[in-house]
């Protein structure tokens, strides 16, 4: 239950009537729920598809078939990335563009994807 009170400036402020421990527990539960939902395989697949489609729009014509992501059929949170080295900068740019729109944990997941892509590109430079 939430009731309102007036502040000194005359504005109404919502105040929770539940005990502080229950309020904190509900906030923590909601935060954990949101983090867990951001790592749902369907949500990851959605964002992979958006990154793939946008990357294909931006790469030169001869690289359009060189950007492909495929979800593992057994381990649903695992994706196979088949990306040409010449298309990697574009994919990285698209991921960076989409991260602010993603749920927090999905954004962290794609930051890790960027890190892996960077490591793979650096391996080839050695």
Percent of the chain with pLDDT over 90: 56
pTM listed for this prediction? 0.73
Residue with tokens 């509900």: 26
What would the pLDDT profile of 65-106 be if each residue is shown by its tens digit?
Answer: 999 999 999 988 889 999 999 999 999 999 999 999 999 889
Residues in the chain: 126
Q: What are all long-range contacts of 41-44, with beta carbons under 8 Å and residues at least 24 apart?
A: 41/71, 41/76, 41/77, 43/103, 43/106, 44/71, 44/77, 44/79, 44/106, 44/109
pLDDT of 39 above 70: yes
């Amino acid at each position: 239950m939430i009731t309102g009170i007036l502040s000194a400036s005359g504005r109404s402020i919502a105040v929770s009537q539940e005990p502080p421990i229950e309020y904190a527990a509900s906030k923590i539960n909601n935060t954990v729920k949101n983090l867990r939902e951001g790592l749902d395989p369907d949500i990851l697949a959605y964002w992979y598809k958006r990154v793939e489609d946008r990357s294909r729009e931006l790469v030169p014509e001869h690289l359009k078939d060189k950007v492909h992501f495929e979800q593992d059929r057994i381990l649903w949170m695992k994706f196979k990335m088949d990306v040409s080295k010449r298309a990697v900068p574009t994919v990285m740019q698209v991921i960076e563009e989409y991260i602010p729109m993603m749920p927090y944990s999905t954004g962290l997941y794609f930051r890790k994807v960027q890190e892996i892509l960077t490591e793979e590109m650096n391996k080839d430079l050695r």
